Amino acid sequence: MERMLAALALLVGLTFALAGCRAEKTPPPEPAKPPAKETVKPPAPEPAKAPAKEAVKEPAKEPAKESAGEPAKVAAPQPAKKSWKEEIELGANVSLHGHQLYPPDNPWNKDISGEPVDPNSEALVASIGKDAALHPDVGPNYGIPYVVVAGTQAKVPVKFEYPDESDPGPYPVPPNPPIEGGPDAKGDRHILILDRDNWKLYELFAVYPTPDGKGWKAGSGAIFDLNSSALRPAGWTSADAAGLPIVPGLLRYDEVYEGKAVEHAIRFTCKRSRRAYVYPATHFASRSRDPNLPPMGMRVRLKAGYDISAFSPPMQVILMGMKKYGMILADNGGNWFFTGAPHPKWSDDELNTLKRVKGRDFEVVRMDRLTAE
């Protein structure tokens, strides 16, 4: 019995041992795991962008509400910007606001301060008068007036005494134009008209109204295009004896007191001239062939060493202009008389201080293009 029990126990032990060996060789399957979730990587962040500016929209304007009996408000239109020509007012002897007549390279606008002296300067100056005083032919009530008109100014016919050397016109003469010396004058009676919009100059000499009042009669007349430096035909006069325009040579109040610079030659006269002319003049007004008399168009300048410090600042402006641009002989008249446009603010007392300047203080600029008979 005991042997049977021991055998049985041995058999059970072998059975367990054999079961243990099988378990080591074939491990039992692991319980099923849920499928692994695929890791989705988030996209790499983009570089930070500056926040977009929001377009600021103006709130829509509500249509103006009309109240009973009150019209809708309309924004006032802005005035158009003026052109440089429109800056020049219309009327007699007005300011040109620094706008230069003729192109910069025109003879009237040429700086002659460095030009050589004419070899016959001493004799020419002596013929006008070394001791004669410079004389301002300009003031509150005298000088040669001019008038600025619009391009729309109506033109009227002019009948000429010297039609062969006159531009036929018609001319834009306004009603009651300013006449040199006044409507009852007996002298040169110039009418000078500046067409602001077309930048043209119309000049008349010895002008009188026709009996019917519908036109004018004149000794001579000339039209100048201020955009060009073209001269009159050789041998032709103009409204001035030398065949030159007048307005570009007038001393004006606005350039002295507003602009504080005279940047052109000034017109002047002398009693006796030569039967000859020099560029830019085109005409003579004398029978004398004396080479020591000045030809029309002759240019003089105040000597560089002349001391102007004792004069008032406005008179220094004039004298500096005479040093740099000089004066051009344009007609027979008083010796060393220089011409300007009248203006009520000119001071006779101040202008008369210029009479301290004498003929000897001037010199003649060399003349290269002389035409003589």
- Position 209 scores a pLDDT of 95
Among the listed residues 135, 99, 136, 133, the one whose alpha carbon sits nearest the alpha carbon of residue 341: 136
What one-character DSSP code corresponds to residue 292? T
Q: Does a structural domain hold residue 40?
A: no
Residue 177 amino acid letter: P
Size of the chain in residues: 373
- Position 2 scores a pLDDT of 52
Task: Indicate the pLDDT class of residue 16, thresholds 50, 70 and 90.
Answer: very low
How many angstroms separate the CA atoms of 318 and 297, rounded?
20
Could you tell me if 109 and 263 are in contact, meaning their C-beta atoms sit under 8 angstroms apart? yes
Task: Indicate the pLDDT class of residue 214, thresholds 50, 70 and 90.
Answer: confident
- Position 86 scores a pLDDT of 81
pLDDT over 70 percentage in the chain: 78
pTM for the full predicted model: 0.79
Q: Does a structural domain hold residue 38?
A: no
CA distances from 321 to 66, 106, 361 (A): 64, 16, 14
CB atoms within 10 A of CB 143: 22
Residue 12 amino acid letter: V
E strand or H helix that includes residue 254: helix 253-257
How many angstroms separate the CA atoms of 273 and 287, rounded?
9
Task: Indicate the pLDDT class of residue 213, thresholds 50, 70 and 90.
Answer: confident
Q: Does a structural domain hold residue 140?
A: yes
Q: Does a structural domain hold residue 8?
A: no
- Position 69 scores a pLDDT of 54
Task: Indicate the pLDDT class of residue 72, thresholds 50, 70 and 90.
Answer: low
Task: Indicate the pLDDT class of residue 26, thresholds 50, 70 and 90.
Answer: very low
Q: Does a structural domain hold residue 103?
A: yes
- Position 7 scores a pLDDT of 47
User: Bridge partners of 224?
Assistant: 201
Could you tell me if 303 and 213 are in contact, meaning their C-beta atoms sit under 8 angstroms apart? no
Question: Mind listing the pLDDT tens digit for each residue in 310-360?
Answer: 999 999 999 999 999 999 999 999 999 999 999 999 999 999 999 999 999
Q: How many separate domains does the chain show?
A: 1
| Residue 190: burial class (beta carbons within 10 Å; 0-12, 13-18, 19+) | buried
How many angstroms separate the CA atoms of 34 and 123, rounded?
129
CA distances from 4 to 10, 17, 197, 284 (A): 10, 20, 149, 174
Q: Does a structural domain hold residue 10?
A: no
How many angstroms separate the CA atoms of 132 and 130, rounded?
6
Q: Does a structural domain hold residue 331?
A: yes
Range of the domain at 342: 91-372
- Position 76 scores a pLDDT of 67
User: Bridge partners of 364?
Assistant: 300
Q: Does a structural domain hold residue 11?
A: no
Residue 279 amino acid letter: Y
CA distances from 190 to 57, 143, 174, 233, 234 (A): 65, 10, 14, 21, 22
Q: Which residue has the higher pLDDT, 74 or 159?
A: 159
The gap from C-alpha 179 to its chain's centroid, in whole angstroms, comes to 28
Question: Mind listing the pLDDT tens digit for each residue in 274-318?
Answer: 999 999 999 999 999 999 999 999 999 999 999 999 999 999 999
**Residues 16-38: what's their mean pLDDT?**
42
